[in-house]
């Protein structure tokens, strides 16, 4: 089924891809399962084909646009949390990264669980640091794709530790799978393999930090 979904995305058949998502929801699949089993899985598969030169850059950009459209259509299904459940965070792509699908999905997943998440993408180091400092949120999630972004990521985390020493810093993105030694190289509070599995530990860290204050 994933292969059929990917083929529909490549063809630009928005009706078929939307119908597959609707059918998955009709079968009772949760929003998280739809995200991971369809949107994230398709992005990973087609992204790998793009990196291998099997599909072109313009095709991949078009696919990303169609996946963004599907994600937007899914957002109204997310439950609205009560005011007492709101936790605040900023999720940002690391300067130099040009693929924002993963961090956008992560923001949506946290929002579904009642978090108030500001999403920042496409900013350079100074602009991103300024925005984060101005927001003064307790959790900062950073997403990096290729291993080549290790140095920009390290530079950003170092600056955040100086400017926002009280913040919890969470790392995600493809780089977490490419560098098993990331925890030794980057001073982060949590390294997430995926957004869904990160929600519980990040929430627990935030609660523990609040209790210790």
Mean pLDDT of 139-167: 91
- Band (pLDDT 50/70/90 cuts) for residue 88 is very high
Q: 151 to each of 69, 146, 154, how far by Cα in Å?
A: 32, 11, 5
Query: What tokens appear for 126 in the block?
Result: 């100074």
Instruction: State the pTM of this model.
Output: 0.77
Q: What are phi and psi of 93, to 5 degrees?
A: -85, 145
Residues of the chain with CATH 3.40.50.280: 83-212
Range of weakest confidence among 45-59, 86-100, 103-117, 144-158: 45-59
- Band (pLDDT 50/70/90 cuts) for residue 138 is very high
Q: Which residues pair with 115 in a beta bridge?
A: 87
| Predicted confidence (pLDDT) per residue in 35-49, tens digit | 888 888 888 888 888
Task: Output the pLDDT for position 86.
Answer: 62
Q: Would you tell me the crossing angle of helices 14-26 and 2-11 to the nearest 10 degrees?
A: 150
Task: Output the pLDDT for position 104.
Answer: 92
pLDDT at residue 141 is higher than 80: yes
| Predicted confidence (pLDDT) per residue in 173-194, tens digit | 989 988 888 888 898 999 998 8
Task: Output the pLDDT for position 213.
Answer: 64
Residues of the chain with CATH 1.10.1240: 2-77
Please name the fold of domain 2-77.
Answer: 1.10.1240
Q: What are phi and psi of 91, to 5 degrees?
A: -110, 135
75 or 203: which leads in pLDDT: 203
Range of weakest confidence among 46-60, 77-91, 97-111: 77-91
pLDDT at residue 75 is higher than 90: no
Please name the fold of domain 83-212.
Answer: Rossmann fold (3.40.50)
Distance CA 121, CA 134 (A): 16
Distance CA 87, CA 167 (A): 13
Distance CA 131, CA 95 (A): 13
Mean pLDDT of 42-71: 84
- Band (pLDDT 50/70/90 cuts) for residue 197 is confident
Q: Which residues pair with 139 in a beta bridge?
A: 89, 168
């Amino acid at each position: 089924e994933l292969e059929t979904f990917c083929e529909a995305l490549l063809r630009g058949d928005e009706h078929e891809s939307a119908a597959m998502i609707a059918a998955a929801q009709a079968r009772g699949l949760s929003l998280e399962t739809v995200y991971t089993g369809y949107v994230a899985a398709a992005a990973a598969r087609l992204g790998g084909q793009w990196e291998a030169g099997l599909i072109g850059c313009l095709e991949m950009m078009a696919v990303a646009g169609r996946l963004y459209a599907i994600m937007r259509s899914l957002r109204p299904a997310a439950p609205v949390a009560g005011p007492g459940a709101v936790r605040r965070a900023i999720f940002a792509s690391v300067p130099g990264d040009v693929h924002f699908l993963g961090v956008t999905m992560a923001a949506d997943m946290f929002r579904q669980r009642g978090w108030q998440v500001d999403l920042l993408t496409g900013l350079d180091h100074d602009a991103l640091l300024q925005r984060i400092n101005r927001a003064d949120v307790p959790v900062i999630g950073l997403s990096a794709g290729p291993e080549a972004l290790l140095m920009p990521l390290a530079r950003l985390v170092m600056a955040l530790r100086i400017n926002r020493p009280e913040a919890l810093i969470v790392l995600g993105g493809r780089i977490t799978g490419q560098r098993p030694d990331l925890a030794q190289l980057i001073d982060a509070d949590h390294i997430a393999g995926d957004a869904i599995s990160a929600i519980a530990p990040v929430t627990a860290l935030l609660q523990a930090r609040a209790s210790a204050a």
